[in-house]
Structure 1
Amino acid sequence: MIDLSFNIAKNQRSFTQEGKPFFYLADTVWSAFTNATIEEWSEYLDYRKMQGFNVLQINMLRQWDASESDLNLQPFALMENGDFNYHALNEAYFDRAEVMLQMAVERGFIPALVLLWCNYVPDTWAEMFQKGNKMPLDCVENYVAYVVNRYSRFEPVYLISGDTDFPTERANAYYLKALETVQELSPTSLTTLHIQGRLREIPEVFAQHKGLGFYMYQSGHNSEFQHVAHEIAQHFYHKPEIRPVINGEPCYEQISYSRNVYGRYTALDARKAAWQSLLAGGGAGVTYGAHGIWSWHKKGKKFGIVEGEGFDSPYDWRMALRFEGAWDYSFMKYVFEMYNLIGIKPLDIILNNTGEIRAAGNENTIVLYVPVNTRVRLSINVQDYKFTTIDLAERRFAQTEVSVHEDRSMIDMHSFESDVVIIGTK
């Protein structure tokens, strides 16, 4: 088995693997354990490995809004009314998950396992859609201990919560019990909280908890609030408790706008959310999502078995697997590794009247993301830097001229028609 040795870097802003900088490039594949056949899983893993992905975010339990599946796999025994009997684990389900994790780890992936998605916990926002079938609090420790003891050899990351809003002390007790169980049984495991879209605050009991390894947020799928991709990254970056920051759920490629709003997110939309996250404080990495992969959808099957957030139908998983946007995220990883940008610091040097253009840097490099073509005005003198403009749509590299006047600089309009990253190196 590959020795993953996945840890937080000494500066607390990024990750390392075997002592080397590690760019966290995850794919959202929540429903793999319940929906994917072993043969499909193998095909999926080979394709994502070829693209350079290195983390897989998977829901340990059934995803409440997954697509319909013929596999009929349940993590717990069922009662007469169809609810889970949380006191009776289905060993066959977890046996199969172990096989799938073994396959992933053998290919070099780090599993990031969600322990408690919000619909399993009382009082969360999911209550309006799924009122019953909650896990009793007294079952949380046994369930989490079972998962940790069984899968710790794979060195997974644990996403303690899934899509939660921390509404009450009763709900928070679930997540705290899960976090402390992981910490007790596997103190070296990295943990985080997958929180509700656009949420930027977590309760102090978690923010102050030594067992919490890094911050994860989601900029989400609401068309009115895509600006939070950079706003929330910046917010968590400046928290007094310093941890790596990851946008764990930007808008998925080809998912429709939430709340039954007409429209779908393109590869450009997903790319923009990612680059803005990375340069605003989330420079440890990012997570991709394809509408059809996260729910593991198959053509002809139902979507939204449980009424949810009003998303339009997904693509078949094989088609979604090959969306172009995944290559955009793969290219981000390539650029961050090539220019030594992992964990890069956000910079407040943009004079343009917009928050859409983002800047970040380290001792040798300045990086700018420009989503719409315009002159970019900087509040610093960059005469010691040589700049290159990267056309993100076609992945072309162009020489770039910069004019400098005293303590300010300007980069003229580029020659491309889409978004670009401009990189200056000393």
Structure 2
Amino acid sequence: MLKRLLFFASLSIQIIACKTSEEKSNPNKLTITENGRFLAAGDNKPFFWLGDTGWLLFGRLTREETETYLENRKQKGFTVIQVMVLHTLDVTNVYGDSALIGQNVATPLVTEGNSFSDSAQYDFWDHVDFVVDKAAEKGIYMALVPVWGNNVKKGGVNQQQAKIYSEFLANRYKNRPNIIWLNGGDIKGSDSLDVWKTIGRTINQLDSTHLITFHPRGRSSSSEWFHNEPWLDFNMVQSGHKTYAQDTSAKETLHYGEDNWRYIQTDLALKPTKPTIDGEPSYEGIPHGLHDVNLPRWTADEVRRYGYWSVLAGGFGYTYGHNSVMQMYKKGDKKTSFGPIETWDKAIDAPGAGQMIHLKNLLLAYSFFDRVLDQTLIANQGNRYDYLVASRGTDYALIYTYTGRNIKLNMGKLPGNSVAASWFNPRDGQTTAIGDTPNKGIQEFNPPAEPKEGNDWVLVLQTK
């Protein structure tokens, strides 16, 4: 009897040990770091969220087009695709398959089988599975918005329906390795608050493996409504698409204009500390303020600025977007938003899309989890486009200027009598050495070329 008990005890220990080992060695599982400010993959490997807004991917692209899009994003270094599962309640995909029965989220239209060669088998959800799995093959995470916010705001989804639908989604995708949940969808959390809480709680109860956040309305953060919700793993900001001059709405409380770094700083000052990210800044190729197609459009210069400002302010990553790509615009489309010009297959190679990888590579080249915002480095701070943001680890500092104006620094924040200085070019990822600089007093650095908007540079200081 004793031998039998010892055998089962030994077997139980082995099973637990194997499970623990598997969990620790799972290279795809994303977790929150101990300091509460970053994401880690697998065995505590730094994870830089470089997102793209492929919002209408599931409905608009064929399998072949999906392969083209995802491979392009893989080659450009993107790690996350943000996508709507249900853009509308009557959504159909490119193959004519409806997602729901009777436009009811509680009754997904699921057919038996999943063979693509048999149209009676291959349904809307089989196509979502295909896209998710194809992304996994390429090392890309899919950040899924269960149902876009305005459908809920208009009364199309109640709490009971939301619970049933969330159970369906969680059970279907909880074992996929590359899922992140984006509750909400361009909506204030106060609009249908109980529905959003139901979705968050239900998914978290059934799928505790994958991280969850909330995608908010423009010029707001998930923290305004859900920071203390147990299901919210990290915060997400939508700094939005307005210029300084356009950010005047009396319906909004935060008037940060284009200063998306302010959202990041505000979120990171909250307790408990949770990671935060700008999940929707101004898109490349979209009109200022969105709705007047005759206004100027945001360019690669601005999307770089939003990226470096928010990440160096403490964001754990950054989401890029392009007007044509987010809606997968095709020539001849009768229903479009915000006046897309290029088709999606051309816009995926827009300048800004190709430059985002340099931000990712720069941050991953240095110690990641100990990086903090340190504005005490700046001795000549400016406003708006002249604003400088400084971030440092134990043996390095990164200081970003959008205009290429001179930078004056309070030295001595890093160890050593001198530091190695260099310029990092956000447009091509190249580094130009400056040389050794005394690590005391106030030192001034003059970026290449004449100051102007878009002549952006990162000053890199390293302990020798």
Against the structure 1 CA distance between its residues 162 and 148, is the aligned structure 2 distance closer, same or farther, given a 3 Å change threshold?
same
After TM superposition, give the deviation of residue 376 of structure 1 in Å.
0.9
Q: Is structure 2 residue 184 aligned with structure 1 residue 161?
A: yes
Against the structure 1 CA distance between its residues 416 and 52, is the aligned structure 2 distance closer, same or farther, given a 3 Å change threshold?
farther
TM-score by length of 2: 0.81
Against the structure 1 CA distance between its residues 360 and 190, is the aligned structure 2 distance closer, same or farther, given a 3 Å change threshold?
same
Provide the rounded CA distance (Å) in 1 between the counterparts of 2:205 and 2:364: 34
Match of 1:272 among 277, 291, 305: 305
Q: Is structure 2 residue 378 aligned with structure 1 residue 313?
A: no
Q: Is structure 2 residue 131 aligned with structure 1 residue 108?
A: no
Q: Is structure 2 residue 375 aligned with structure 1 residue 348?
A: yes
Aligned residues of 2:180 and 2:211 also touching (Cα < 8 A):
yes
1:4-403 paired onto structure 2 within 5 Å:
4-19=28-43, 20-62=45-87, 71-78=95-102, 84-91=103-110, 92-122=123-153, 131=154, 134-155=156-177, 156-168=179-191, 171-200=192-221, 202-203=223-224, 206-224=226-244, 226-257=257-288, 258-260=290-292, 262-282=295-315, 284-304=316-336, 311-341=338-368, 344-349=371-376, 350-355=378-383, 356-381=387-412, 383-400=417-434
Provide the rounded CA distance (Å) in 1 between the counterparts of 2:166 and 2:439: 60
Offset from partner CA, 1:333-356 (integer Å, 9 cap, x none) = 111111234662111122324242
Against the structure 1 CA distance between its residues 45 and 70, is the aligned structure 2 distance closer, same or farther, given a 3 Å change threshold?
closer
Aligned residues of 1:246 and 1:286 also touching (Cα < 8 A):
yes
Q: Residue 228 of structure 1 aligns to a residue in which SS?
A: coil
Aligned residues of 1:250 and 1:270 also touching (Cα < 8 A):
yes
Offset from partner CA, 1:68-92 (integer Å, 9 cap, x none) = 97544432124xxxxx233431222
After TM superposition, give the deviation of residue 62 of structure 1 in Å.
2.1
Offset from partner CA, 1:355-390 (integer Å, 9 cap, x none) = 421111111111011111222122333653211101
RMSD: 2.4
Q: Is structure 2 residue 457 aligned with structure 1 residue 420?
A: yes
Against the structure 1 CA distance between its residues 379 and 139, is the aligned structure 2 distance closer, same or farther, given a 3 Å change threshold?
same
Provide the rounded CA distance (Å) in 2 between the counterparts of 1:98 and 1:138: 25
Provide the rounded CA distance (Å) in 2 between the counterparts of 1:347 and 1:228: 17
Against the structure 1 CA distance between its residues 210 and 360, is the aligned structure 2 distance closer, same or farther, given a 3 Å change threshold?
same
Provide the rounded CA distance (Å) in 2 between the counterparts of 1:12 and 1:420: 29
Code of the aligned partner of 1:10:
E
Q: Residue 275 of structure 1 aligns to a residue in which SS?
A: helix
Provide the rounded CA distance (Å) in 2 between the counterparts of 1:41 and 1:404: 52
After TM superposition, give the deviation of residue 248 of structure 1 in Å.
0.7
Q: Residue 272 of structure 2 aligns to a residue in which SS?
A: coil
Structure 1: stretches of 5+ with no match in the other structure: 79-83, 123-130
Q: How many residues align?
A: 401
After TM superposition, give the deviation of residue 201 of structure 1 in Å.
6.3
Code of the aligned partner of 2:218:
G
Against the structure 1 CA distance between its residues 193 and 294, is the aligned structure 2 distance closer, same or farther, given a 3 Å change threshold?
same
Provide the rounded CA distance (Å) in 2 between the counterparts of 1:37 and 1:352: 52
Aligned residues of 2:222 and 2:236 also touching (Cα < 8 A):
no
Q: Residue 202 of structure 2 aligns to a residue in which SS?
A: helix
Equivalent in the alignment of 1:128: none
Offset from partner CA, 1:114-167 (integer Å, 9 cap, x none) = 123211212xxxxxxxx56x1122200110110110011113110111111123
Q: Residue 269 of structure 1 aligns to a residue in which SS?
A: helix
Provide the rounded CA distance (Å) in 2 between the counterparts of 1:38 and 1:272: 34
Code of the aligned partner of 1:352:
N
Against the structure 1 CA distance between its residues 63 and 319, is the aligned structure 2 distance closer, same or farther, given a 3 Å change threshold?
farther
Code of the aligned partner of 1:75:
A
Higher relative contact order (CA 8 A, sep 6+): 1
After TM superposition, give the deviation of residue 270 of structure 1 in Å.
0.5
Offset from partner CA, 1:209-253 (integer Å, 9 cap, x none) = 222111111111112255231111111111112111111112111
Code of the aligned partner of 1:185:
L
Aligned residues of 1:303 and 1:314 also touching (Cα < 8 A):
no
TM-score by length of 1: 0.87
Provide the rounded CA distance (Å) in 2 between the counterparts of 1:196 and 1:344: 28
Code of the aligned partner of 2:58:
F
Against the structure 1 CA distance between its residues 54 and 353, is the aligned structure 2 distance closer, same or farther, given a 3 Å change threshold?
closer
Provide the rounded CA distance (Å) in 1 between the counterparts of 2:214 and 2:395: 33
Against the structure 1 CA distance between its residues 229 and 300, is the aligned structure 2 distance closer, same or farther, given a 3 Å change threshold?
same
After TM superposition, give the deviation of residue 177 of structure 1 in Å.
0.2
Provide the rounded CA distance (Å) in 2 between the counterparts of 1:269 and 1:210: 35
Q: Residue 414 of structure 1 aligns to a residue in which SS?
A: coil
Q: Residue 184 of structure 1 aligns to a residue in which SS?
A: helix
Provide the rounded CA distance (Å) in 1 between the counterparts of 2:428 and 2:133: 36
Aligned residues of 2:379 and 2:442 also touching (Cα < 8 A):
no
